[in-house]
Chain A
Amino acid sequence: MNKLLLTALLASLPTAGAATLVFGNNGDPVSLESGNITDGISIAVQRQIYDTLVDFKDGTTDPVPGLATSWKANKDATQWTFTLRRGVKFHDGTPFNADAVIFNVNRWWDPKNAYGFRNQGHTYEIWGQLMGGYKGDATSVLKNVVKINDYTVRFDMNKPSTVFPSVIGSGYFGIASPAAIKKDGAKYGTPASKPVGTGPFIFQSWKTGDRIVLLPNKLYWGSKPKVDQLVIRSIKDASQRLNELKAGTIDFANDLTPDSLKAIQADKNLVAVKRPSFNVGFVSLNNRNEYLKNDKVRQAISMAINKKAIVDAFWPGLGISNASFLPPVLSWANSKNVPADYRFDPTAAKKLLAEAGYPNGFSIDLWYMPVSRPYFPQPKPIAEAIAADLSAIGIKVNLKTEDWAKYLEDRRKEPGFDMYMIGWTGDYGDPDNFYSAYYGPGGSDDINWNPAELVRLLDQGRAAVSQADKAKVYAQIHEITYKANYRIPVVHSQPLAAARSYVKGWVPSPLGSEAFNNISVAGKK
């Protein structure tokens, strides 16, 4: 009874004076276990609790030291040696060292690992996608991970990889405390456990569907948090996130719809924050369709879509259109022989269509996504705009959509969709991350077009050691894909975020999430 009374008393004490930072996340995390998630909502939370070996310079995709202070490759990039930061402790007080790194890597990539991914299975799918396979696979980029001493780890590769440090630095691969994972087993990462990393914030509580409370890590090796408490609220609806911002019940939020930019700018209490663009939204044309097989038809379609007008209408001030699959940060990998943007010329397009043998046009399906993504926040009206542009040259477009799960499945099921909208947000700063996701074996059956030369070039790009070599290979890929017109990039958008005007020090990362340790809320009421 006394204890109950005391708890009640403590709980009713005013918490005024403490600086609480409140973030509006666009949903509830799937899990707080690093090595178990692939979604941005979970990563946004995990970035606060866990560090990665490699970090990225604020607002860029340039690798900088994280839990590793330095790393270097041998001459042909088949061995990477990482020097680890000394004196770092996990939130549970256990030391961070080479054993901890190897424990985590084994969880991610060894399907037989006892502490590996969950009880339903033992492979972490994103590892396979980014690293070509798992321990023991011939296709795996990584061959072995070796402890040299307590603060040095070496990664041996099956094939040269110049992007390895960036990949291992991506938000999926937060380093967790081995002791905590061993203690909680399958419960680790659920609300019934306490996720333990070395990051700037320490996990306090998680009420699913509602909020996660984190406390500052006073012993953090990097720049220490500037607030007394970080609350991460789960607010699924974008308009409601904006409402909460305006009402002042949250301090900052991600993923607002582009059309709210004006409302944010008009509110003197709010500041619009544009995340650097690191995505592409595009339309895929299917080679199995008899019309779309024709080179001239595809060219006509790409010429008929007024991408600039579409971007101006749906992403006013928040997007660009160009003739590259790669977001602007990676423009060093673009070819100089390809024009900056596609030509918009409905008259020429109509002529091309006539040359192709369809002077009166034809009828075709365009599938748009049922969900909102940073690259296509409002897929339906965008699809309608594309349909209107195509109807101007005589192509009658039937707009179609279906439930997201079915959409994802059907696009890859033969014969697939004639034309469909999809997109991609990058994980790390390399052109391969964009091209391989949609060309080469990975995208093999949604448009039925994967020329051998392209596949060969993609392999070559992954192995290229210097950036100059890489630029040469990707310039060729750019030329081939630009000429082919099978995937027409519509937009590289800047996801819109916003903060109350007293929020200082928030530098959003192009990779989608960043740690909040530098944010302060001086002057918050």
Chain B
Amino acid sequence: MGSYLIRRILRTLLVMIGISVVVFAFVRSIPGDPATVMLGERATPEAAAALREQLGLNKPWFINYKDPAHLLEAQYPKYMAQLLQGDLGSGLKSNIPVRDELVNRFPATAELAIAALLFALLVGLPAGILAALRRNSVWDNLATTISLVGVSMPVFWLGLLLSYFFAVRLGWLPPSARLGNDVTLEPITGFYVLDALLRGQPAAAWDALRHLILPAIALGTIPLAIIARITRSSLLEVLGQDYVRTARAKGLASRTVTLKHALRNALLPVVTVIGLQAGALLGGAVLTETIFSWPGLGSWLYEAISQRDYPVIQGGVIFAALVVSVVNLLVDLSYAALDPRIQYR
């Protein structure tokens, strides 16, 4: 187990370096560069060239082979040298250190993603189980239909709809943001609901929770639908297997068979899907965060890509890849917990 972990961590590091190279080359090969975007409607070729030089974008990407004396003046070696000192650079225009923004924004995204996942699990799992146990019943049809709608609903549309209906029409929940205008909260962890409780501000915690509900539903709907469907089909498959029949034949109560034997095995693919969804949640957060003015990683990265803000894109992508790797590692480790036959060496 220990050596497995070390190997996994080393592999993750290699993957990170690979990703840094790929993202570095990739962002620079997208047509249109930061200089053009910064200048906008005013961009003349001369002004863009001057700005490009200021930003150091006229330097070679990886190796300065034309000029051996300045071999390491290319953009990538400089970036890596910085990175090894823990410096991810700063936004090209804003000059805000990428690291500060990551620290600032990741908790917002994580809080939202966790809330969305919780929502997806709390509704998706029971729905899937119910659908499998009452196969072809009204419940099954309902769950299947809803999950189909959930998967095909565009997130931004659902977000706007939720916001309009629950905030504007009914006035039950705030339309966007993480906190009300008059609520002040000194963050500790960056998870506002938790922070408010730690600070002993129950009113602020309630306010933060209310702000979390709509975006979490918007973001959680697709994973919910997927989880419900996978749970249903996986459970149906397991229920048809011999050992379940054996267990039943032994005279075990139907409830025990389903929950203790079948469900535990049926959850394996569900856990895999949750792991995969962790990456998708980061992606879905882009739209959800934009719609709900949620100051997280997604909306920040989205903006950076349209602005071609290279250091921000690089830092953001490398960090997101790291998060997904860690989540996947956790998922792999949880397999062993769920299924004793799986061992890591």
Contact = CB atoms under 8 A, between A and B. Distances in A.
Contacts of B295: 207-210, 234
A1 interface: no
Contacts of B42: 38, 125-126, 129, 437, 442
B37 A405 contact: yes
B27 to A, nearest CB: 11
Nearest to A190: B96
Nearest to B292: A240
Interface residues of A, number: 72
A408 B43 contact: yes
B101 to A, nearest CB: 6
A125 B293 CA distance: 30
A121 B51 contact: yes
Nearest to A13: B184
Interface string A162-195: 0000000000000000000000001101111000
B92 interface: yes
B167 interface: yes
Contact of A120 (B56, B176, B199, B308): B56
Contacts of B24: none
Interface in A348-405: 403-405
Interface stretch (A242-250, A312-320, A509-517): A242-250
Given A243-B164, A422-B41, A233 B290 contact: no
B50 A123 contact: yes
Contact of B176 (A39, A190, A244): A244
Contacts of B307: 405
Interface residues of B, number: 69
Contact of A246 (B47, B168, B294, B296): B168
B92 A38 contact: no
Contacts of B296: 209
Given A209-B105, A243-B163, A408 B40 contact: yes
A209 B300 contact: yes
Nearest to A243: B175
A233 B292 CA distance: 12
- Scoring A126, A189, A240, A243 by chain B CB atoms within 10 A of each residue's CB, the highest score goes to A240
Contact of A243 (B38, B105, B176, B201): B176
Interface in B233-254: none
A189 B36 CA distance: 22
A249 B31 CA distance: 40
Given A30-B93, A31-B94, A247 B175 contact: yes
Interface in A113-168: 118-123, 125-126, 128-129
Interface string A10-21: 011001101010
A37 B41 CA distance: 14
A310 B174 CA distance: 37
A423 B40 CA distance: 11
Contacts of B167: 243, 247, 249
Q: Pick the most buried of B44, B47, B104: most chain A CB atoms within 10 A of its CB.
A: B44
B259 interface: no
B54 A120 contact: yes
B211 to A, nearest CB: 10
A423 B41 contact: yes
A244 B167 CA distance: 8
B39 interface: yes
A404 B305 CA distance: 11
Contacts of B182: 15-16, 18, 20
Contacts of A236: 290, 293, 299
Interface string A287-321: 00000000000000000000000000000000000
A283 interface: no
A123 B36 contact: no
Given A8-B199, A445-B45, A190 B32 contact: no
B203 interface: yes
A8 B204 CA distance: 11
Interface string A246-268: 11011000000000000000000
Contacts of B152: none
Contacts of A36: 93, 95
Interface in B146-176: 160, 163-164, 167-168, 171, 174-176
Interface string B286-319: 0000111111100110010011100000000000
B332 interface: no
A209 B31 contact: no
B189 to A, nearest CB: 15
Contacts of A231: 181
Contact of A240 (B30, B293, B300): B293
A89 B170 CA distance: 48
Could you say which of A123, A244, A412 has the most chain B C-beta atoms within 10 Å of its C-beta?
A244
A208 B104 contact: yes
A25 to B, nearest CB: 10
Interface string A395-438: 00000000111111110100000000011100000000000010
A31 B177 contact: no
A190 B37 CA distance: 20
A424 B43 CA distance: 12
B59 to A, nearest CB: 13
B111 interface: no
A405 B308 contact: yes
Contacts of A128: 47
A490 interface: no
A237 B291 contact: yes
Given A122-B54, A128-B47, A247-B175, A7 B37 contact: no
B176 A235 contact: yes
A46 to B, nearest CB: 13
Given A246-B168, A406-B32, A123 B54 contact: yes
Contacts of B175: 240, 243-244, 247, 249
Interface string A212-233: 0000000000000000000101
A243 B293 CA distance: 12
Contact of B51 (A12, A31, A125, A443): A125
Contacts of A492: none
Contact of A404 (B37, B54, B104, B290): B37
B33 interface: yes
Contact of B200 (A12, A210, A246, A412): A12
B67 interface: no
Contacts of A207: 104, 295
A513 to B, nearest CB: 16
A403 B306 contact: yes
B184 A11 contact: yes
Q: 8 tightest CB-CB pairs across the interface, nearest first? A: A121-B54, A405-B32, A209-B295, A210-B295, A406-B32, A406-B31, A243-B175, A246-B168
16 contacts: A12-B204, A30-B93, A31-B95, A120-B55, A125-B39, A125-B50, A126-B42, A190-B95, A208-B295, A234-B295, A235-B293, A236-B290, A237-B290, A244-B176, A405-B30, A405-B32
Interface of B: 30-33, 36-45, 47-48, 50-51, 53-56, 90, 92-97, 100-101, 104-105, 108, 160, 163-164, 167-168, 171, 174-178, 180-182, 184-186, 199-201, 203-204, 290-296, 299-300, 303, 306-308
Interface of A: 4-5, 7-8, 11-12, 15-16, 18, 20, 22, 27-28, 30-31, 36-39, 118-123, 125-126, 128-129, 186-187, 189-192, 207-211, 231, 233-237, 239-240, 243-244, 246-247, 249-250, 403-410, 412, 422-424, 437, 441-445
Given A125-B47, A208-B96, A409-B43, 13 more contacts: A7-B199, A27-B303, A38-B39, A187-B95, A209-B105, A210-B177, A236-B293, A244-B175, A247-B167, A249-B177, A405-B37, A405-B307, A409-B36
